[in-house]
Amino acid sequence: MFRKLTVLLVTLGLIGMLVSAATLVTPTHIGSYNAPISITMDLLPQYSMQAVNPARQQYLKKAYEEWIRKNPDVQVYFQIISGPAAMAKLLTQARSGTAPDVSQVDSFVLPRFYPYLQPLNKYFTSDEISDLLPYCQKGMIHNGQLKALWFTTDARVLYYRKDLISKPPKTWAELFELGKKLKKEHPDMNVFMYPAGKNEATIICLMPLFWAQGGKLVDTNGKPVFNEGKNREYMLNLLKFLKETVDSGITPERVDAITAEAQLNQDVAAGNVAMFIGGNWQVKQMENLLGTATFNKEWGAAPLPQIRDNIESTGVGGWTWGIFTKDPAKQAAIIRMVNAIYFGSHGMFGWTKAAGYMPTRESVYKDYAYYATNPWMQKFLSIMKYGRPRPGFAIYPTISTNLQVAISSVVSGISSPQEALDTAWKNVMEEYNRMK
């Protein structure tokens, strides 16, 4: 009788514990509602427990459950942000002092948030910071203060068909030579594709071909310079190169309607693309489309082809965590949480593996077999060392929009490279002078 009662009580206790653990974590709130440290956190849906992707959802649910069990004095309210206005709204909130305690901040607008973000140096050693990729360190640190935690990144690479191309082209000349040969052998094939539509993807995929030449979009004060001195020559080189890809027939004109890297996936799946500029995350997408074995057998990745040999550059982006609260207890709790789930070595490994992003810590690529033994990841890491984020000055969105239009106009034959560049420059400078 006593034994039966004990079993019953233990069972009830276990059920109780399970139920309480389960109710501690919901997609919009974690922790006890009585917990003294209450944090508000803004994040994108795909980075939250509301993510549609099951792998992300499972990882986050488990990670948040584990963390909140160890931190019973904390509760977190999640607020979903999305859409193109998310960063603009966040900046408005930060300016008016109503920002959440912690939020995701897009790496390329991070400089706009520096005045409102709290320094985090005391929570990290210099060794921990120097573990991050060089461009991440540069973006996170402002005037010696650690302003944000860059926890995912991405890179643009040249994907190529290994069964058609034995050596990927390093230069534009090699690309045209190879492209013409492939076009002759496979007349229906789209030899070389890239996004050239009116979208940010066009800039992040193609500007590395300008940057690698030594080109600059803005000077150190944020003044546009992409049409001044040598920069004009470099930009014209790029526009002429893009025009030639279409004129020579290796690139279809319809790339001017491609506004995101993933829009190329269907063409790739149809088997009529030989090379394309895309993002690292497309490996996972295309493994799903083609099957892991087929994709890995047929496709390889290489640095973007440049105007000449021995120069490299790639467009990189990613997301950071920025802390707005000045409360030390809240800050410490946020650091503990973000480290455990997204930013610490183990958290970063778990999150990037589940989500398909690239880690920002070099040690993660060495210490975890998933990255250390994966040739894709090692290749991406070697390419990302030449990563260049977009400049975070106020004029950048105007430059980007006008260069998107310039590229799209050149590719579709609306304007010559010179006309397109002159129009973009005129529009950008009008806006720059107005903003001054």
Partner 1 sequence: MKNDISKKETWAWLWILPVIAILSLFYVVPIVKVGLYSFTNASFFGGKFHYTLNTYGFLFSSGTFWIMLKTTLLFVIASVIFQFLLGFSISLALVDGENRKLLGTTFVRTAVLSAWVIPGVVIGIVWKLLLTGASYGILNYYIKVLTGYAIPFLSSPTWALVSIIIANVWRGTAFSMIILYGGLKQVPQELYEAAQIDGASAWKRLIHVTIPQLKQVIFINLALITIYTFNTFDMIMALTGGGPGRATEVLSIYSYDSVFERWALSQGAASAIVLLVINLIIVIFYYRTMKVGENNA
Where do contacts with partner 1 occur on this chain (CB under 8 A)?
Answer: 83-85, 88, 91-92, 95, 112, 197-199, 252-257, 259, 266-267, 270, 272, 394, 397-398, 400-401, 405, 408-409, 411-412, 414-415, 423, 426-427, 430-431, 434-435
CA atoms within 13 A on the CB side of 243: 17
Smallest distance from partner 1 to CB 431, Å: 7
User: For partner 1, which is the closer residue by CB, 61 or 198?
Assistant: 198
User: For partner 1, which is the closer residue by CB, 76 or 94?
Assistant: 94
User: For partner 1, which is the closer residue by CB, 22 or 270?
Assistant: 270
User: For partner 1, which is the closer residue by CB, 267 or 298?
Assistant: 267
Smallest distance from partner 1 to CB 221, Å: 15
Smallest distance from partner 1 to CB 71, Å: 35
In sequence order, what E strands does 265-399 have? 273-279, 299-302, 314-323, 387-388
User: For partner 1, which is the closer residue by CB, 320 or 401?
Assistant: 401
User: For partner 1, which is the closer residue by CB, 227 or 412?
Assistant: 412
Smallest distance from partner 1 to CB 267, Å: 6
Give residue 106's region: left, alpha or beta (phi > 0; psi -120 to 50).
beta
User: How many CB atoms are located within 10 Å of the residue 116 CB?
Assistant: 17
DSSP assignment string, 180-204? HHHHHH-TT-EEEE---SSSHHHHH
Smallest distance from partner 1 to CB 315, Å: 17
- Which pair of tokens denotes residue 121? 């140096």
Smallest distance from partner 1 to CB 411, Å: 7
Q: Find all residues with CB under 8 Å of 354, minimum gap 6, and list them.
A: 55, 56, 58, 59, 60
CA–centroid distance for 122 within its chain: 27
- Beta carbons of 299 and 160 less than 8 angstroms apart: yes
